Chain A
Amino acid sequence: MEKLISEFSIGLFFWQTIIFIALILLLKKFAWKPILDSVNEREQGIKDALLSAEKAREEMASLQSDNELTLKKARVERDTLLKEAREIKQKLIDDAKSEAKNEASKIIAQAKEAIQNEKNSAIVDLKNQMADLSVGIAEKVLQSKMSEDKAQMNLVKELIKDVTLK
């Protein structure tokens, strides 16, 4: 310890302190402040750039998702439109078919009715003609048969027989 104190040089201490303080002040003004400032500026710049890049990325992502959504919607809409169109088409076909069927059955029914009517009138006509004809025939037969008495008698007898049998 004594040796340390005896070795202590006041001159060296004095100069060292003055030079060192001057060095700190000079370096502060001309070196450390500009260096640290520019480093801070650079770091801030990098931070900002990263932030804006992140922002842009997010925007891009949201834009992309928007696009996708729109696309999806469009696809769904297209699908529904197609489906509707198909349904309408089917319905039209079905409607047409059923109408045609109805119409056809109606026509058939009408035709059937007309035929029936014709048939009936024909039958009535035929019946009338038959009655006329049979009356005529009967007249003729009767004219020829009733000329004989005997035959008349036989007929009467026969008729009576039928009556009694009944």
Chain B
Amino acid sequence: MNKQRHLAFTILIFFFGLTIGRSSTSVLEKDKNLKQDVKSEIKEYINHHLKDSHSFSITSYKDEKTGKTVYIELPLPVILYDNGLKFFWSSALKHGKKVVASGGNFYKLEYHDSKIYKTDKDGTITYDSDHHPLNEKPLDFSITKNIATILLVSIMMLLLFVSLAKSFKQNKGISKGMGRFFEPIILYIRDEIAIPNIGEKKYRNYMSFLLTVFFFIWFLNMLGLTPLGVNVTGNIAVTFSLALLTFIITNVTANKNYWGHIFWMPGVPVLIKIILAPIELLGVFIKPFSLLIRLYANIQAGHIVLMSLIGLMFVFQNWVGSSLSFGLAFFISIIEILVALLQAYIFTMLSALYFGFAVAEHDEEH
């Protein structure tokens, strides 16, 4: 029954509420302590969804005859660095049920934290008191679900914008088709984000980063709302990478003035200058850090709320509560579409602002 509910939950996320699934009727007969079961299952499902995965799973179901869970998924390559590169397909891991032998070592997927550990031949994983595995972890450079999605979005963006550039060239600078939709956004980023924050003189150097980061985050956010069930921009490693680039670009392109304002703030008494220097220096790191946390937290929270509301339908098990949580989930997912755009905008906007600080020319002393 659990697997059936699991399936129904997946289907629901897939078609977003078109069906409640077969499980609901059969569960009605069960006693109340099953509800607790449902809750923990939902919690685990959400937790699992928020994490990266080694395979691109679409759905899974339990075969009635054999009693085995059958996964419908795309296998992805697993690349490990453990005294030399190890390569095999994620399908070999069998969701942590099989030990994979590669280059004389044995590896096993720990299902709960979705990480690959080095094990012995039998695949024993020892845990500490907090249920954290103690086994050695090889460096994992696998093409995971998130990386596959990033690649997909990158290819999509390349195809889209290169063809846009071509159509621009062919039509003598007038957009056509899809370009009609994307051109105003590109112009908006240039006219409302880049130029006001960075300035007419230097904005050109930053346009490529700003445009790429905006569309990259936006598309990934939107993809996170589709039934594919990816959570790329809600992953700390991805937002860290994006914010790190903003940090590096800001500090590499910064002029003398910027550093002057950090270490020796002009126009204030010496004592305050000494106090301000460490605060300003801390600000250099806090600014991009806030970027990475904001994007991560917003997308992560959106996914948790949305999935919890969908999960609530199975907890309520009645028409009123379920339709109420359906309505709420529908409402939240519309809000999430807005958040997807908003977070992309905020990231781009703040990046532009920081670049603007870095290259600002202060003619006046203040």
Contacts and interface: CB of A to CB of B under 8 A. Distances in A.
B41 interface: no
B237 A31 contact: no
Interface in B313-353: none
A6 B133 CA distance: 12
Contacts, number: 125
Contact of B241 (A13, A27, A33): A13
B195 interface: no
B25 to A, nearest CB: 38
B51 interface: yes
Contact of A31 (B162, B173, B204): B162
Interface string A103-131: 00000000000000000000000000000
B236 interface: yes
B245 A21 contact: yes
Given A7-B236, A32-B208, A20 B146 contact: no
A16 B237 contact: yes
Given A23-B154, A23-B158, 20 more contacts: A4-B236, A6-B132, A7-B51, A10-B140, A10-B237, A11-B141, A12-B235, A12-B237, A13-B238, A16-B237, A16-B242, A20-B212, A20-B245, A24-B208, A27-B161, A27-B208, A31-B161, A34-B169, A39-B187, A41-B173
Given A12-B147, A20-B242, A31 B158 contact: yes
Contacts of B147: 11-12, 15-16, 19
B336 to A, nearest CB: 22
9 contacts: A6-B132, A7-B235, A9-B237, A11-B144, A27-B161, A28-B208, A30-B165, A34-B166, A42-B174
A45 B242 CA distance: 36
Interface residues of B, number: 48
B286 to A, nearest CB: 15
Interface string B160-200: 01101110110011100000000100110010000000000
B254 to A, nearest CB: 19
Interface SS majority for chain B: helix
Given A12-B146, A19-B154, A35 B161 contact: yes
A26 interface: yes
Given A10-B140, A27-B157, A27-B158, A17 B245 contact: yes
Interface of A: 4, 6-17, 19-24, 26-28, 30-36, 38-39, 41-42, 45
B44 to A, nearest CB: 16
B92 interface: no
Contacts of B305: none
B151 interface: yes
B160 to A, nearest CB: 8
Nearest to A18: B241
B165 A34 contact: yes
Contacts of B139: 10-11
Contacts of B141: 11, 14-15
A13 B240 contact: yes
B211 interface: yes
B143 interface: yes
A140 B304 CA distance: 179
Residue in B208, B209, B236 whose Cβ sees the most chain A Cβ within 10 Å: B208
Nearest to B159: A31
B231 to A, nearest CB: 11
Contacts of B209: 24
